[in-house]
Copies of this chain bind each other. A is one copy, B any other.
Amino acid sequence: MLKISELSEQTGLSAHTLGYYEKHGLINASNRSEAGYRFYTDSDVRRVEFVKTARNTGFSLEDIGQLLSIRVDKLSHSCQEVTDITRKKLDEVNAKLLELQSMQQTLQLLLDKKNAERTEQGGAAK
């Protein structure tokens, strides 16, 4: 069980940001102390990491809410709805993957070229 400062340290997100995510319904502390202090489980940590990952790859908080609901939600949507949302999000993820792969290739080529230059002529800089 982690306190919010410990969760903050583990995830690299500020306690303020965690509060912001909670206010927007993305995360929640599984437990509270008598006095109301938040306590987080391993499962909570994984959820926060997921939000961080999705955020980092360009999904909005609203998108992320949908992504999370796919994993959890067996009640508030019909099967067909869940399937549709999942497919739509998967398409988005795949599109981003393709885009990133082409960017990766471009950068890798540039780096390889730099390295070749350095190797063949002993590092004469600009």
**A residues neighboring B (CB under 8 Å):** 53-58, 67, 70-71, 74, 78-80, 82-83, 86-87, 89-90, 93-97, 99-104, 106-108, 110-111, 114, 117-118, 125-126
Contacts and interface: CB of A to CB of B under 8 A. Distances in A.
B110 A86 contact: yes
Question: In the complex this chain forms, how many copies of it are found?
Answer: 2
B78 A126 contact: yes
Given A103-B57, A107-B90, A83 B125 contact: no
A87 B89 CA distance: 30
A103 B54 contact: yes
A45 to B, nearest CB: 16
A106 B99 CA distance: 19
B107 A93 contact: yes
29 contacts: A53-B103, A54-B99, A56-B58, A56-B95, A56-B96, A57-B57, A57-B58, A57-B96, A57-B99, A67-B103, A71-B106, A74-B126, A78-B125, A78-B126, A79-B114, A80-B125, A82-B114, A86-B114, A89-B107, A90-B107, A90-B108, A90-B111, A93-B103, A93-B104, A93-B107, A94-B104, A96-B100, A97-B97, A100-B100
